């Protein structure tokens, strides 16, 4: 995944991502905004976006590219001081940013409290059971042995001489997504699969 992918214009996105993005409405919280491509597309629709990221460099890039409200803010620190939202974006694999199954359920509960009636979460993830090689299958099996979900991966992002700290990212299938939603106050209203990539829209009960 090259750096140019984070700067792609709307018409360069994968078709399922554009289709998921069509469900964006109202005031938007863009979690893990990266270079700001989603927030910029939201602003072009004359909607308000609050873009947050844990990377100072990402926030600087967002601001330099024209994102009006870009904030350095860890996921764990979001609260009602941000106001309330009609859409939450968890794109670019960011649905799994909380790390594990319990943490993801807790995040969904938190977002339920930070959103207005009729709110949506627009997300994508990667089905860990699609397209893997022998080493990938062994990784999934070790996760289960350790009491983790199969698709909980420990990764970091590296570019040139820069690298993030290691962190956990949860990747799930559509079936696993449905199980995680139980009791959270969210239900899936739309979904699309594109190879291993899974796109979904959740609506508030």
Place of tokens 């299958």: 137
Q: Domain locations in the chain?
A: 3-204
What is the per-residue pLDDT across 102-126, written as a single tens digit (0 to 9) for each? Answer: 999 999 999 999 999 999 999 999 9
Q: Per-residue pLDDT for 2 more than 80?
A: no
Ranking 49-53, 60-64, 163-167, 200-204 by mean pLDDT, the lowest is: 163-167
Q: Please work out, in degrees rounded to the nearest 5, the angle formed at the alpha carbon of residue 103 by the alpha carbons of 113 and 179.
A: 85
Place of tokens 């990377």: 55
Q: Coil, strand, or helix at residue 40?
A: helix
Alpha carbon 134 to chain centroid distance? 27
Confidence of residue 135 (pLDDT cuts 50, 70, 90): very high
Distance set, CA 77 to CA 12, 24, 110 (Å): 32, 23, 11
DSSP state of 148: S
Distance set, CA 176 to CA 52, 98, 127, 182 (Å): 27, 15, 9, 10
Confidence of residue 82 (pLDDT cuts 50, 70, 90): very high
DSSP state of 166: P
What is the per-residue pLDDT across 52-76, written as a single tens digit (0 to 9) for each? Answer: 999 999 999 999 999 999 999 999 9
- The mean pLDDT of 190-195, rounded to a whole number, is 96
Q: Is the pTM of this model over 0.85?
A: yes
Confidence of residue 8 (pLDDT cuts 50, 70, 90): very high
The secondary structure of 94-113, three-state, reads: HHHCCCCHHHHHHHHHHHHH
Q: Alpha helices of 46-154 — where are they, by DSSP H?
A: 56-65, 101-113, 134-145
Q: Are strands 115-126 and 197-204 parallel, antiparallel or unpaired?
A: antiparallel
Confidence of residue 159 (pLDDT cuts 50, 70, 90): confident
pLDDT at 3: 79
For domain 3-204, give the fold. Answer: Rossmann fold (3.40.50)
Enumerate the β-bridge partners of residue 168. 154
Place of tokens 């863009």: 30
């Amino acid at each position: 995944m090259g750096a140019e992918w984070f700067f792609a214009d709307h018409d360069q996105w994968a078709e399922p991502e554009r289709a998921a993005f069509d469900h964006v409405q109202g005031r938007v919280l863009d979690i893990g905004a990266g270079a700001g491509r989603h927030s910029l597309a939201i602003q072009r629709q004359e909607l308000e976006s609050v873009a947050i990221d844990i990377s100072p460099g990402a926030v600087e890039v967002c601001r330099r590219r024209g994102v009006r409200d870009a904030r350095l803010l860890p996921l764990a620190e979001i609260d009602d001081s941000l106001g309330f939202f009609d859409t939450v974006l968890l794109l670019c694999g960011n649905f799994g940013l909380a790390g594990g199954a319990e943490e993801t359920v807790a995040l969904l509960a938190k977002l339920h409290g930070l959103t207005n009636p009729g709110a949506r979460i627009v997300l994508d993830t990667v089905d860990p059971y699609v397209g893997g090689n022998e080493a990938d299958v062994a990784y999934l099996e070790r996760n289960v042995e350790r009491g983790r979900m199969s698709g909980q991966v420990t990764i970091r992002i590296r570019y040139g001489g820069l690298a993030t700290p290691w962190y956990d990212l949860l990747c799930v299938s559509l079936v696993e997504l449905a199980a995680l939603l139980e009791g959270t106050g969210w239900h899936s209203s739309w979904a699309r699969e594109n190879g291993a990539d899974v796109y979904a829209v959740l609506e508030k009960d």
